[in-house]
Amino acid sequence: MPSPSPRALVLGGYGLIGASAMRALSEAGFDVTGVGRSLAAARLVLPQARWEIADLTRLEATDWAQLCAGYDVVVNAAGALQDGGGDDLCAIHEDMLRHLLAGVQGRDVRLVQISAAGVSPEASTEFFRSKARGDALIRASGVAHVILRPTLVLGQAAYGGTALLRAAAALPLVDWQMLPEARIQTVALADLNRAIVAAARGEVPAGTVADITEAESRPFPELVQDMRAWLGVPTPKLRLPLPGFALRLIGLGADLLAGLGWKSPLRSNALRALADGITGDPTDWEKAGGPACRSLQEVLANTPATVQERWFARSYLLLPLILATLALFWLASGLIGFWQFEAAQQVLTNRGMGSGAAGMNVAVGIGLDLLLGTLVLFRRWVKVACLGMVAVTLGYLAAGTLLAPDLWMDPLGPFVKTLPAAVLALVPLALMGNR
């Protein structure tokens, strides 16, 4: 009888690295199960895969013992960039590992930990510090393990650092020189997958701790220029430095938006990590027998950009601008209506509506405007808000046509100008989504 396939459990299975690792392990002959806390996200990313749905930060040692039973390999691709927005670095990078290690203690299982190049107890961000503490727990546990520490991971899927680089490369009008002193090394997601498979198969010794990276580094502006050339986007003729304080303000703004559900790659932890540089040394990995990683130039040459990548890069930073415009438009509409309540009421009473009914209609309209302008700022409510904007706009136009058809011919176009706003509200419905 043929021997059964080795079994692998991938934690954080629908993230950028986790989903790709699940595919690579499956292609390598593993029987793979993913673990995540959202069934909807799991089915969206890998609908044919087998899933265990659980909040990893709430599992105790006994839960882990049951979850990991029968698996030969556990790949930990779960992680978070920064505290806030529902994420707790200590809970996911340390406490979870502590319970996991206790649950698999004494079992014949290999743990493949996806860490990060540059982790250190003295690092400048809590992301790297908490990752370092988690790695230390693994190394002291006695559980067979391999710790992989990739540099900046670039994949075909536009997410995180990949999305940020594409967006920076596609910025029009000005070639902003950001972080000129920062040196960056990258690793292709496909090469990281090869490392994960090699570690899972036992092709590198247990106890290996190694950076997974290309050999050469480059300044961040050069990396952006390489991405621009790959996209086929012309370099703006105007070149200006982007001051450090401007980046810090951008990071602070992104941090605040995390409370509304927006986990942007522009948050302060990510920008600080880039400013510090993201570098590693592939020597230990190659000495352990791991497959070498390709250079950035080789990776880009082997994965030519298409119109899809160019569309994404150009629209990535348009989405927050569109959402901000919609929020401002609807909030301003509501506030102006509240401030000019009597004038708005008079528009209806002049056309035969009773004052009480007119006041009620104006009040309802103000409430809807303020509600939709607020909801569109919250990530989880964006689609509802945008659909509401379209519906309310069409309702305004239908009611207005019945009560005040003359406004269609008004020289200031109060009815005509609402149509572009309704169409604009459709754009986030097409652009939302990060999986």
More confident residue, 82 or 42: 42
Return the bridge partners of 211, or none.
149
- 352-370 as b/e: b if 16+ CB within 10 A: ebeeeebbebbeebbebbb
216 and 324 co-located in one domain: no
Q: Which pTM does this prediction carry?
A: 0.86
Residue 161: CB atoms within 10 A of its CB come to 21
Residue type, 356: G
Q: Which two tokens stand for residue 46?
A: 């890998």
Residue type, 120: S
Once rounded to an integer, what is the mean pLDDT over residues 37-63? 93
Residue 204 has pLDDT above 50, yes or no: yes
85 and 208 co-located in one domain: yes
Once rounded to an integer, what is the mean pLDDT over residues 366-376? 95
Residue 434 has pLDDT above 70, yes or no: no
Residue 264: pLDDT band with limits 50, 70, 90: confident
342 and 290 co-located in one domain: no
In a domain, 146, yes or no: yes
Instruction: Provide the number of structural domains found in the chain.
Output: 2
193 and 48 co-located in one domain: yes
In a domain, 2, yes or no: no
> What pLDDT does residue 435 have?
55
Once rounded to an integer, what is the mean pLDDT over residues 58-65? 96
Helix ranges, 243-317 (H): 244-258, 268-276, 283-287, 296-302, 307-316
Nearest in space to 208 (alpha carbons), one of 120, 129, 118, 112: 112
pLDDT tens-digit series, residues 270-297: 888 888 899 999 999 999 999 999 999 9
312 and 324 co-located in one domain: no
In order of 48, 264, 386, the CA distances from 379 in angstroms are 27, 11, 11
135 and 170 co-located in one domain: yes
263 and 344 co-located in one domain: no
Considering 316, 345, 377, which residue would you say is the last residue of a domain? Answer: 316
Residue 334: pLDDT band with limits 50, 70, 90: very high
237 and 367 co-located in one domain: no
100 and 139 co-located in one domain: yes
Considering 290, 316, 342, which residue would you say is the last residue of a domain? Answer: 316
Helix 418-431 vs helix 382-403: crossing angle, to nearest 10 = 160
pLDDT tens-digit series, residues 96-143: 999 999 999 989 999 999 999 999 999 888 999 999 999 999 999 999
> What pLDDT does residue 85 have?
65
241 and 140 co-located in one domain: yes
333 and 297 co-located in one domain: no
3-state secondary structure of 278: strand
Residue 164 has pLDDT above 50, yes or no: yes
Q: Which two tokens stand for residue 162?
A: 């990949």
Residue 417: CB atoms within 10 A of its CB come to 10
More confident residue, 410 or 121: 121
What's the length of the chain?
Answer: 435
Residue 232: CB atoms within 10 A of its CB come to 12
Nearest in space to 76 (alpha carbons), one of 34, 26, 123, 118: 34
> What pLDDT does residue 99 have?
97
Tell me what the pLDDT averaged over the chain comes to.
90
Once rounded to an integer, what is the mean pLDDT over residues 153-175? 83
Say how far apart CA 209 and CA 242 lie, in whole Å. Answer: 36
Which segments within 266-382 are labelled E, that is strand? none
More confident residue, 337 or 73: 73
- Cα-atom radius of gyration of the chain, to the nearest Å? 26
Highest average pLDDT, of 69-83, 135-149, 410-424, comes from 135-149
Burial class (CB in 10 A: 0-12, 13-18, 19+), 169: buried
> What pLDDT does residue 401 have?
85
In order of 136, 186, 239, 248, 271, the CA distances from 275 in angstroms are 25, 15, 20, 11, 6
Residue 1 has pLDDT above 50, yes or no: no
- State the Cα torsion 327-251-190-95 to the nearest 10°: -100
Residue 81 has pLDDT above 80, yes or no: no
Contact by Cβ (8 Å): 254, 262: yes
- 195-222 as b/e: b if 16+ CB within 10 A: bbbbbbbeebeeebbbbbbbeebbbbbe
Tell me the helix, strand and coil percentages in the chain, rounded to 5: 55, 15, 35
Domain span at residue 368 reads 320-431
In a domain, 217, yes or no: yes
Q: Which two tokens stand for residue 324?
A: 């901000």
299 and 395 co-located in one domain: no
Q: Which two tokens stand for residue 345?
A: 């009421």
Query: What's the sign of the alpha-carbon dihedral 147, 75, 267, 89?
Result: negative
Question: What are the φ/ψ torsions at residue 32 (nearest 5 degrees)?
Answer: -110, 140
